[in-house]
């Protein structure tokens, strides 16, 4: 296929991004408002929060319920301002952080939501850290300005220090909580006043070319006007002016203020987003860099979702199209399995509707029905053997030994564990000394989920023994002789991950430090790609 103008236009139109936040900062609310603007939903409340609500049901039954709705909200596509926007949903619960990390490999930019009262929280830090590993462009939205919170400048300091982002405010609040009057849009130089009913009307936008104009005093009162003038003056002195190149390189993060629930400041965010956010970016593979405008299809699987019905073991693999045009009923190469594969019912996601697609472009996400052929990270091409990079595993936080409770059903247990790990529910490590299986997760909830799903979907039962492992570190061998010594001494702490990569399971921070000091011929990494 020749590269033509319409193909380029399709690529240029795509904006694929993720919204990340600490639970409760307002990610679901903001997503919903964006979808309302895009006309993808008509009423508020249509997007189900995918967070685990504190409720009477036990946590893991709640997870099963969430699993049912999260397919629908995995990708939400809509058109706005002439752009095709794909929002990739990320699980809110911290125990599912791994899932979020992987989704972040499929986006081109992110919006971070921060609660004005709580500031930078634990989960925000982790997710921004992962985004920064790939220099993903980041926009910050400070939410809940209708409530009392931290001082704007203190918050910007916190964002710079705790998240390591160079910020550049593009909007600025006039008061907050009871005194919240609106936001001054620095990007477009206009003042938007907050109305009591919470709607953001076109009439409320007053263009202020000159902040010294007395109209400002009339609109928001002399004291607030004076404060705003001083604040904007300070901003101009301390913060760099917005530079799109710096933003695109992940070096500068614009900050917006607003209140998602009141739909305030959201349109400014979205209007700016469609102007500045990057179209589909090139992707790195072990062999070469893939550019979206290349005519041959490439894509990779970043998420796998199992069917809820145990009788139907099919799953949906989420493919990010990286280059070329994905076409239905066309033969492609499944690189890892080295065989041809074609898809008769690929689905696209328009808000909560799913529909069969005939064509998909770079930046788009396609859902592929899969009977167990895919694992996370798999690539699809038109024949080229390329291996996508940038989907690393991180050290889990909790480790348990799997104990089979039914020796006659070992095969089922093995198959179940393998498939659940392919889905990315947790990480499996097989010990070098005795082949025992260890599961590693970010949070305790997954252990219950795995046990439940093994029983219900595979008829296998297991229990766990808690292991005191501090970290899993991926081993890079610099010197074979030194590695052999290390292997002989530490065999009981060495395992292989599901890609047969060697991993050292350090018992404590101290043993990790000692190992690093004693064996200079090996290098230990906290992620599987180095
Ligand atoms: P999350 O996805 O990041 O976890 O957050 P979510 O949008 O579910 O919002 C968490 C809570 O914060 C919700 O209240 C939501 O209504 C509230 N919220 C979101 N944006 C704003 C805002 O701009 N101002 C104020 N004051 N609150 C906001 P909840 O009581 O936990 O849930 P709900 O019963 O309202 O759904």
CATH number at residue 516: 3.30.70.3280
For ligand 1, the distance from its centroid to the CA atom of residue 260, given in whole angstroms, is: 8
- 244, 276, 308 - which closes a domain: 276
Q: pLDDT at position 54, please?
A: 44
Closest-CA residue to 487 (of 517, 525, 515)? 515
The CATH code of the domain that includes 291 is 3.40.50.300
Q: Is the pLDDT of residue 43 over 80?
A: no
Separation of alpha carbons 51 and 410, rounded Å: 34
In a domain, 365, yes or no: yes
Residue nearest to atom 25 of ligand 1 (CA): 144
Residue 143 CA, closest ligand 1 atom number: 23
For ligand 1, the distance from its centroid to the CA atom of residue 92, given in whole angstroms, is: 12
Residue 259 CA, closest ligand 1 atom number: 23
For ligand 1, the distance from its centroid to the CA atom of residue 334, given in whole angstroms, is: 42
Closest-CA residue to 231 (of 211, 215, 217)? 211
Could you tell me if 437 and 483 lie in one domain? yes
Percentage of the chain lying above the pLDDT 90 cut: 64
Could you tell me if 22 and 64 lie in one domain? yes
In a domain, 388, yes or no: no
Residue nearest to atom 30 of ligand 1 (CA): 24
Q: Which residue has the higher pLDDT, 504 or 122?
A: 504
Residue nearest to atom 22 of ligand 1 (CA): 144
Strands (E), 51-92: 75-80, 83-88
For the whole model, what pTM was predicted?
0.86
Helix (H) or strand (E) holding 353: strand 353-356
In a domain, 301, yes or no: yes
Could you tell me if 327 and 250 lie in one domain? no
Mean pLDDT value across residues 266-294: 95
- 276, 295, 323 - which closes a domain: 276
Mean pLDDT value across residues 205-230: 88
Range scoring the smallest mean pLDDT among 59-63, 152-156, 320-324, 507-511: 59-63
Domain that residue 438 falls in? 398-525
Query: HSE-up of 349 (CA within 13 Å, CB side)?
Result: 28
For ligand 1, the distance from its centroid to the CA atom of residue 196, given in whole angstroms, is: 18
- Work out the pLDDT band at 37, boundaries 50, 70, 90: confident
Could you tell me if 272 and 326 lie in one domain? no
Q: Which residue has the higher pLDDT, 37 or 256?
A: 256
In a domain, 519, yes or no: yes
Residue 51 CA, closest ligand 1 atom number: 4
Q: Is the dihedral of CA 216, 115, 237, 227 positive or negative?
A: positive
Helix (H) or strand (E) holding 498: none
Q: Which residue has the higher pLDDT, 58 or 15?
A: 15
- 248, 276, 304 - which closes a domain: 276
Residue 92 CA, closest ligand 1 atom number: 4
Range scoring the smallest mean pLDDT among 284-298, 347-361, 368-382, 473-487: 347-361
Helix (H) or strand (E) holding 322: strand 315-323
In a domain, 266, yes or no: yes
Q: Is the pLDDT of residue 463 over 80?
A: yes
Residue 32 CA, closest ligand 1 atom number: 7
For ligand 1, the distance from its centroid to the CA atom of residue 401, given in whole angstroms, is: 38
Residue 113 CA, closest ligand 1 atom number: 3
Helix/strand/coil for 472: strand
Could you tell me if 257 and 239 lie in one domain? yes
Answer whether 403's CB lies under 8 Å from 118's CB.
no
In a domain, 441, yes or no: yes
Could you tell me if 294 and 272 lie in one domain? no
Counted domains in the chain: 3
Q: Which residue has the higher pLDDT, 104 or 47?
A: 104
For ligand 1, the distance from its centroid to the CA atom of residue 146, given in whole angstroms, is: 12
Q: Which of 28, 29, 110 best tests ligand 1's pocket when mutated (most atoms within 8 Å of CB)?
A: 29
Could you tell me if 132 and 200 lie in one domain? yes
In a domain, 387, yes or no: no
Separation of alpha carbons 119 and 404, rounded Å: 45
Q: Which of 22, 23, 26 best tests ligand 1's pocket when mutated (most atoms within 8 Å of CB)?
A: 26
Residue nearest to atom 15 of ligand 1 (CA): 26
Question: How do residues 517-530 score in pLDDT, each as one tens digit?
Answer: 999 999 999 988 88
Could you tell me if 174 and 318 lie in one domain? no
For ligand 1, the distance from its centroid to the CA atom of residue 24, given in whole angstroms, is: 6
Q: Is the pLDDT of residue 199 over 60?
A: no
Could you tell me if 243 and 287 lie in one domain? no
Inter-helix orientation angle 152-163/222-238, to 10°: 30
Q: Which of 21, 24, 183 best tests ligand 1's pocket when mutated (most atoms within 8 Å of CB)?
A: 24
DSSP 325: -
For ligand 1, the distance from its centroid to the CA atom of residue 420, given in whole angstroms, is: 32
Q: Is the pLDDT of residue 228 over 60?
A: yes
Helix/strand/coil for 271: helix
For ligand 1, the distance from its centroid to the CA atom of residue 262, given in whole angstroms, is: 10
Q: Which residue has the higher pLDDT, 115 or 89?
A: 115
Pocket of ligand 1 (CB under 6 A): 21, 23-29, 49, 51, 92, 143-144, 146-147, 259-262
Could you tell me if 311 and 347 lie in one domain? yes
By the 10 Å C-beta count (0-12 exposed, 13-18 middle, 19+ buried), 116 is classed as: buried
Mean pLDDT value across residues 120-138: 91
Residue 29 CA, closest ligand 1 atom number: 7
Could you tell me if 118 and 230 lie in one domain? yes
Could you tell me if 376 and 462 lie in one domain? no
Residue 147 CA, closest ligand 1 atom number: 26
For ligand 1, the distance from its centroid to the CA atom of residue 261, given in whole angstroms, is: 7
In a domain, 479, yes or no: yes
By the 10 Å C-beta count (0-12 exposed, 13-18 middle, 19+ buried), 216 is classed as: buried
Q: Which residues contact 455 (CB under 8 A, 6 or more apart)?
A: 461
- Work out the pLDDT band at 4, boundaries 50, 70, 90: confident
For ligand 1, the distance from its centroid to the CA atom of residue 148, given in whole angstroms, is: 15
């Amino acid at each position: 296929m020749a590269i033509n103008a319409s193909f380029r236009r399709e690529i240029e139109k795509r904006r694929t991004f993720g919204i990340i936040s600490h639970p409760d900062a307002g990610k679901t609310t903001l997503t919903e408002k964006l979808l309302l603007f895009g006309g993808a939903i008509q009423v508020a409340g249509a997007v189900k929060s995918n967070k685990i609500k504190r409720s009477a049901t036990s946590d893991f039954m709640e997870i099963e319920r969430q699993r049912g709705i999260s397919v629908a909200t995995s990708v939400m596509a809509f058109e706005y301002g002439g752009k095709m926007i794909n929002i990739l949903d990320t699980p809110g619960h911290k125990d599912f952080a791994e899932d979020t990390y992987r989704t972040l490999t499929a986006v081109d930019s992110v919006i971070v939501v921060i609660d004005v009262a709580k500031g930078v929280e634990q989960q925000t830090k982790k997710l921004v850290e992962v985004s920064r590993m790939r220099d993903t462009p980041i926009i910050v939205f400070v939410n809940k300005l209708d409530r009392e919170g931290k001082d704007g400048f203190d918050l910007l300091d916190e964002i710079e220090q705790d998240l390591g982002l160079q910020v550049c405010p593009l909007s600025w609040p006039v008061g907050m909580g009871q005194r919240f009057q609106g936001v001054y849009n620095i990007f477009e130089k206009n003042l938007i006043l907050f109305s009591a009913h919470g709607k953001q009307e076109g009439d409320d936008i007053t263009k202020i070319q000159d902040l010294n104009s007395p109209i400002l005093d009339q609109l928001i009162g002399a004291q607030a006007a004076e404060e705003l003038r001083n604040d904007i003056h300070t901003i101009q002195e301390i913060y760099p002016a917005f530079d799109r190149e710096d933003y695109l390189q992940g070096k500068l993060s614009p900050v917006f203020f607003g209140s998602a629930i009141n739909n305030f400041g959201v349109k400014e965010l979205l209007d700016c987003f469609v102007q500045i956010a990057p179209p589909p970016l090139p992707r790195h593979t072990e062999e070469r860099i893939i550019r979206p405008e290349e005519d041959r299809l490439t894509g990779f699987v970043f998420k796998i979702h199992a069917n809820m019905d145990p009788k139907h073991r099919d799953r949906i693999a989420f493919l990010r199209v990286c280059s070329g045009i994905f076409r239905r009923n066309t033969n492609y190469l499944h690189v890892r399995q080295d065989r041809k594969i074609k898809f008769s019912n690929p689905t696209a996601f328009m808000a909560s509707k799913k529909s069969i697609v005939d064509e998909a472009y770079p930046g788009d996400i396609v859902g592929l029905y899969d009977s167990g052929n895919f694992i996370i990270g798999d690539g699809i091409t038109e024949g080229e053997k390329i291996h996508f990079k940038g989907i690393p595993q991180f050290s889990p936080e909790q480790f348990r030994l799997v104990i089979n409770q039914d020796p006659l059903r070992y095969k089922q247990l093995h198959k179940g564990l393998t498939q659940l790990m392919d889905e990315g529910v947790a990480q499996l490590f097989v010990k070098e000394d005795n082949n025992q299986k260890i599961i590693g997760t970010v949070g305790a909830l997954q252990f219950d989920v795995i046990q439940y799903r093994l029983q219900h979907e595979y008829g296998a039962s297991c229990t766990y023994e808690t292991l005191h492992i501090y970290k899993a570190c991926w081993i890079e061998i610099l010197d074979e002789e030194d590695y052999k010594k290390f292997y002989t001494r530490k065999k009981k702490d060495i395992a292989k991950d599901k890609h047969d990569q060697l991993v050292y399971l350090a018992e404590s921070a101290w043993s990790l430090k000692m190992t690093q000091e004693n064996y200079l011929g090996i290098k230990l990494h906290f992620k599987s790609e180095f």
